[in-house]
């Protein structure tokens, strides 16, 4: 039985920050639906391990290391992919970081690092890939936002600012590029069990609070983001643009 609205066969997807966590889960999910995936990150050893995992399961996978926070590195990396691997049909801007500190003591260098990692990378990679997509008249870009695109918590105000910016940058990308045949949307994960959140997962007090705060009463598992990514990557979302899809167990809709 074929499901063409969700079939990614023949498509090539680049996922930044995909050597572990959400990025790797999304890479696997898109590969399971037929896409050739390109893993990206700065750590070549971690990328090689991730590539080996997916290749061992029979998926078509490449690994291209470049720094998503450096515009020159991004431009060279995207040009290399387009020339040596093929056209990028799907981009998932997943690279990101977190840093927790009381706002009054938040280090200025960490503020700058958050801005560069969480916002500039989305702009740099999105722009470089879109330039190629525009000439072809089609393409899918998915930016990874967060429940912190809507909500705030103590100790992460700068992170919240960056994820709010990702949501609005998604709207701006769509406004400029939809006319060229691109669909640009965002996925906003709630609280998922990832290496980024491991300290919170291991904190019984926080986990208990989260289970009470979330209508679904649990942490999310990273494979539960795959459905949203496949939908936004495929034909089924051909008229969805500038949208942020919350995958959060209901946390953003419940007091």
CATH number at residue 136: 3.40.50.720
| Residue tagged active-site, from 124, 159, 191, 246 | 159
Residue 197 pLDDT level (bands cut at 50, 70, 90): confident
In whole angstroms, give the CA distance from residue 182 to residue 43.
30
- Predicted local distance difference test score (pLDDT) of residue 2: 65
Residue 177 pLDDT level (bands cut at 50, 70, 90): very high
In whole angstroms, give the CA distance from residue 18 to residue 115.
19
C-alpha angle 41-45-221 in degrees, rounded to nearest 5: 60
Collapse the DSSP code of 187 into the 3-class scheme (helix H, G, I; strand E, B; otherwise coil) and give the result.
strand
Mean pLDDT, residues 154-173 taken together? 98
In a domain, 215, yes or no: no
- Predicted local distance difference test score (pLDDT) of residue 196: 79
In whole angstroms, give the CA distance from residue 197 to residue 168.
24
Asked if residue 217 lies in contact with residue 150, where contact means CB atoms within 8 angstroms, the answer is no
- Predicted local distance difference test score (pLDDT) of residue 180: 98
In a domain, 229, yes or no: yes
The DSSP code sequence of 194-227 is SGGGHHHHT-HHHHHHHHHHSTT-SPBPGGGGHH
CB count, 10 Å around CB of 163? 27
Mean pLDDT, residues 236-249 taken together? 98
pTM exceeding the 0.85 threshold for the entire prediction: yes
Residue 79 pLDDT level (bands cut at 50, 70, 90): very high
Whole domain around residue 168: which residue ranges? 7-193+221-249
In a domain, 198, yes or no: no
Q: Which two tokens stand for residue 21?
A: 């966590």
In a domain, 204, yes or no: no
In a domain, 216, yes or no: no
In a domain, 199, yes or no: no
Average pLDDT of the chain is 97
Residue 124 pLDDT level (bands cut at 50, 70, 90): very high
Residue 1 pLDDT level (bands cut at 50, 70, 90): low
Mean pLDDT, residues 189-215 taken together? 93
**Number of alpha carbons in the 13 Å side-chain half-sphere of residue 54:** 29
Mean pLDDT, residues 144-158 taken together? 97
Q: How far is CA 211 from the centre of its chain?
A: 24
Mean pLDDT, residues 207-236 taken together? 97
In a domain, 74, yes or no: yes
- Predicted local distance difference test score (pLDDT) of residue 192: 95
The conformational region for residue 63 under phi > 0 = left, psi -120 to 50 = alpha, else beta, is beta
In a domain, 200, yes or no: no
124 carries an active-site annotation: no
Structural domain total, the chain: 1
The residues near 228 (Cβ < 8 Å, ≥ 6 apart) are 187, 245, 247
């Amino acid at each position: 039985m074929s499901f063409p609205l969700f079939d990614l066969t023949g498509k090539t997807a680049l996922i930044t920050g995909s050597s572990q966590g959400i990025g790797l889960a999304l890479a696997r999910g898109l590969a399971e639906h037929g896409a050739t995936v390109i893993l990206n990150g700065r750590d070549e050893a971690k990328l090689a391990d991730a590539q080996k995992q997916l290749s061992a399961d029979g998926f078509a996978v490449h690994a291209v290391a470049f720094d998503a926070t450096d515009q020159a590195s991004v431009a060279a990396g995207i040009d290399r992919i387009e020339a040596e691997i093929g056209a990028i049909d799907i981009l998932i801007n997943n690279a990101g970081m977190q840093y927790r500190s009381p706002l009054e003591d938040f280090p200025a260098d960490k503020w700058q690092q958050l801005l560069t990692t969480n916002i500039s990378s989305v702009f740099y990679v999105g722009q470089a890939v879109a330039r190629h997509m525009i000439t072809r008249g089609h393409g899918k870009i998915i930016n990874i936002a967060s429940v912190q695109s809507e909500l705030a918590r103590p100790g992460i105000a700068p992170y919240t600012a960056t994820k709010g910016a990702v949501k609005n940058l998604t709207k701006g990308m769509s406004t400029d590029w939809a006319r060229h045949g691109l669909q640009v949307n965002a996925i906003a994960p709630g609280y998922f069990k990832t290496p980024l959140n491991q300290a919170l997962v291991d904190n019984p007090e926080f986990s208990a609070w989260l289970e009470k705060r979330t209508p679904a009463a649990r942490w999310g598992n990273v494979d539960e983001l795959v459905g949203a990514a496949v939908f936004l990557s495929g034909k089924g979302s051909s008229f969805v643009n500038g949208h942020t899809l919350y995958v959060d167990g209901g946390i953003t809709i419940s007091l």
